Amino acid sequence: MLTRFPTTLRSILLATLLLLVGWMQTTPVQGQPVTAASVEAEAATMYYVTEQLATVYRSPEADNPYFRLRLQDPVWVEEENGRFYRVRSEGGAAGYIPKESVSNVWIRVSKSERKVYLYRGTELYRTYAADLGYNPFADKERRGSEAMPDHWRTPEGVFYVARKNPNSKYYRAFVLNYPTARDARRGLRDGLISQREHDLIKEADRNVEMPPMNTLLGGWIEIHGDGTGGESDWTQGCVAVDNRHMDEMWPLVSRGTPVIIEP
């Protein structure tokens, strides 16, 4: 069945991922056929906002504010102009935004390959060896412990960087927004969390903030340093890379950076 081409940040990243692994379906966009090339071009020009509130100006002089965008809102870069990009918003409005206010960096983690892939648009920028959770094969369902090490699992799905921690116990860390709204629905259904906990997680997801980390769903899932480089399974659900690789990613990854973790 044909579906409309996705226009949200997460949907486009998922479409890009499908393209990269070679099985993107053809779908119509405003009555026009979509090819792999058109999907790639669309994703290549898509950026997202990296500030809590970013101002878009009518001209690159930055003296005439036009509208504002929120953290993680998608924009499409049409051209460069000095220290600005001319961008088009999801609603179709066009203007100029400072280059430092947007990014096209995103991360894909393959659990089966034990690799972290760092992308800039559709371009694969770097590949790093990854250590995973004690149980690397299953999706995360609940908080693990010494008594239940099987639940020290690396979660699967679409996430974002909710916080950068320069003083992590494990060198440096990108804290992910696990548990997500999807996890909250499952947790409420299975009796792991209360209605209030469910609502707080959903609100954090909507506002691109850190969710509650102390529920029975678990939390504090990170991409952090102190990795062995040997693709081993020792973390409590996090993804660990070599400290040199964290140093490479650190200036490129922002709060709001999308992270896709696949089986």
Q: Do 90 and 114 belong to one domain?
A: no
CB 238 within 8 A of CB 224: yes
CATH code, 97:
2.30.30.40
Sign of the Cα torsion 192, 189, 175, 232 reads positive
Give the CA distances from residue 3 to residues 91, 165, 256, in Å, rounded to whole numbers and listed in that order.
20, 39, 27
Cα 17 to the center of its chain, rounded Å = 12
Q: Do 250 and 165 belong to one domain?
A: yes
In a domain, 187, yes or no: no
What is the end-to-end Cα distance of the chain in Å, rounded? 26
In a domain, 203, yes or no: no
Q: Do 169 and 253 belong to one domain?
A: yes
Mean pLDDT for each 10-residue chunk of the chain (263 residues)? 36 48 37 59 82 94 90 93 94 94 95 96 94 94 93 94 95 97 96 97 91 96 96 96 98 94 94
Q: Do 59 and 94 belong to one domain?
A: yes
Number of domains in the chain: 3
> What's the confidence (pLDDT) of residue 19?
42
Q: Do 6 and 118 belong to one domain?
A: no
> What's the confidence (pLDDT) of residue 32?
54
In a domain, 121, yes or no: yes
Record the pTM.
0.84
In a domain, 84, yes or no: yes
> What's the confidence (pLDDT) of residue 178?
97
> What's the confidence (pLDDT) of residue 219?
96
Q: Do 142 and 246 belong to one domain?
A: yes
In a domain, 199, yes or no: no
> What's the confidence (pLDDT) of residue 122?
85
In a domain, 64, yes or no: yes
Q: Do 171 and 236 belong to one domain?
A: yes
In a domain, 197, yes or no: no
Q: Do 225 and 140 belong to one domain?
A: yes
CATH code, 253:
2.40.440.10
Give the CA distances from residue 41 to residues 18, 46, 96, 122, 251, in Å, rounded to whole numbers and listed in that order.
14, 9, 20, 8, 25
In a domain, 28, yes or no: yes
Q: Do 30 and 54 belong to one domain?
A: no
Element (H, E) at 99: none
